[in-house]
Structure formats: C-alpha cells, structure tokens
Copies of this chain bind each other. A is one copy, B any other.
C-alpha cells in the first residue's frame, strides 16, 4: 500500500481543478469523461480496494477508458488525489454546537473519525500542504469555530485544532490497521498471539517482562483482543479534552 502526497503540483492548475474553473474549449471532440466522474470512480476504487489499488489504469478501467485518457483531465496522479481529498472532505456534515466548546470539539473529533472510517485511504495521504479547495477550507473554518471565543489565543486555537485532528488521525489509523491486519492475515489477534506463545516460551526470557505479562493478560481478558479501538478512542479523547480544559480554565481565571 502506498503513501501518497498532496499538494505537489502547479498551484494554478490545481486550484483550477479544485474550484472547477477549467476553461471549456469550443473546438475538438466532446470529452467522454468528467472530472467529477473520474474522482468518484477513484474514490470508489480506493474505498473498496485501498489506495495501493487505485492506479491510473485501475481507475480508467472502472470508467471503461484507457489509462492515458485520465491525463487529459488531470496533470498527474497527485492532482487527482488532491481533488479526491477535497471531495470527500465535502462529506463532513460540519454540525455546529454553539456555546459549548467541549461538545463542539467532540463533534469535530467524531465527524473526522467517521470520515476516516468511511475512507481509510485518507490515513495514507500526507497533507502537510493541503489542497486549497472549497471543502478543505470550509473544514478548517468549521474546526476553528469550535474553539472561537473561549479565551485562547489565535495560535492556541490552531494548535488545539491540530492536536484534536492529529489525535483522531492516530486513533483511527491504529483501529483501521488492526481491522485490516485481520483480513490480510486471516487470523484474529488471539490466534496470532497463540501462534507465537509456544515459540516465545521456547526462547524463554519471558520472566524479564513481568508488567507486560500482567497488563497484557488483563487487556486480553477485558477485550478478548490485545487492542480495542472503540475503548481506546473514547479514553484518549476524554484525556485530551481534559487537557484542553485545563488550559481553557487557566485562561479564563489566570493566576488561579
């Protein structure tokens, strides 16, 4: 499975695509495909078969076209990915919870979580330079609005939103990987663990890790698997918002 990068192409051409401002030509044959249609097909392939399977050939096949045809609509695969990103960001409901920053941040976290779960390939796209499309920008504005007017500085607002986004990214990544590894390997976590135990026993040295043994057993008994994503998400989000809360309280009552 590949890691891909966003925002790598020529700004003018990328923005033209993202905001659908391509000039329509008057001459020549009518195009058989559309930008939206290609993006939808690419998202379909990535959702169903993963980002690694989303090759130009595969997407073109999906549309009954030749691979090189896609290059009439996108300068390259990077730009296609940029538009895919902005497109699925458009699926966020962006519900606003007024007057309660904690509930609002919670909503931001949960909507992002749903989006990642629906399109797990998002987790493999490095977005340090986000494609500046309409939905990417609306998403950022909505996220900032959750922590607007609660006493944080502008810089703290940005850091807080980034912190929550980073947290959700990591939590869902772990959960999705755990889900996918079961499919790929055909083994549950318990089966995987039981397949290792006899060999580990033979190697010995296990008594050197007493806390791991105790905690590992407890976690296994609790969730019947070494890792439970639902629990981990709730636990971490609560800790995180508690941490933010400490800052917000401090800001509203300094020298407290």
Q: Which residues of A come within 8 Å of B, CB atoms?
A: 1-3, 5, 7-8, 11-12, 15, 19, 21, 124, 126, 128-129, 132, 134, 137-138, 140-141, 144-145, 148, 153-160, 162-163, 166-167, 169-171, 174, 177-178, 180-181, 184-185, 189, 192, 195-196, 199-200, 203, 205, 208-212, 214-219, 222, 227, 231-232, 235-236, 238-244, 246-247
Known contacts A128-B178, A199-B15; A219 and B154 CB within 8 A of each other:
yes
* Docked pose: A46 CA to B187 CA in angstroms: 29
The distance in angstroms between the C-alpha atoms of A162 and B236, with both chains bound, is 9
CB distance from A161 to the nearest CB of B (A): 9
Q: Is the CB of B243 within 8 A of A12?
A: no
- A-B contacts, 23 listed (Cβ < 8 Å): A2-B2, A19-B203, A126-B181, A129-B189, A129-B192, A137-B209, A140-B212, A141-B208, A144-B211, A144-B215, A145-B211, A155-B215, A155-B219, A158-B218, A162-B227, A163-B232, A163-B236, A163-B239, A166-B236, A167-B170, A239-B247, A242-B243, A243-B246
**Bound state CA distance, A159 and B171, in angstroms?**
11
Q: Nearest 5 A-B pairs (CB), nearest first?
A: A154-B218, A239-B243, A243-B243, A242-B243, A166-B170
Residues of B within 8 A of A244 (CB): 239, 243
Number of copies: 2
B239 touches A5 (CB 8 A): no
> Chain A interface secondary structure, helix, strand, loop or mixed?
helix
User: Taking A154-B215, A154-B218 as contacts, is the C-beta distance between A2 and B5 under 8 angstroms?
Assistant: no
The CA-CA distance from A192 to B10 in the complex, in Å, is 10
B236:A159 contact, CB within 8 angstroms: yes
Interfacial chain B residues near A140, Cβ < 8 Å: 209, 212
Across the interface, A209 reaches (CB within 8 A) one of B141, B184, B235, B240, namely B141
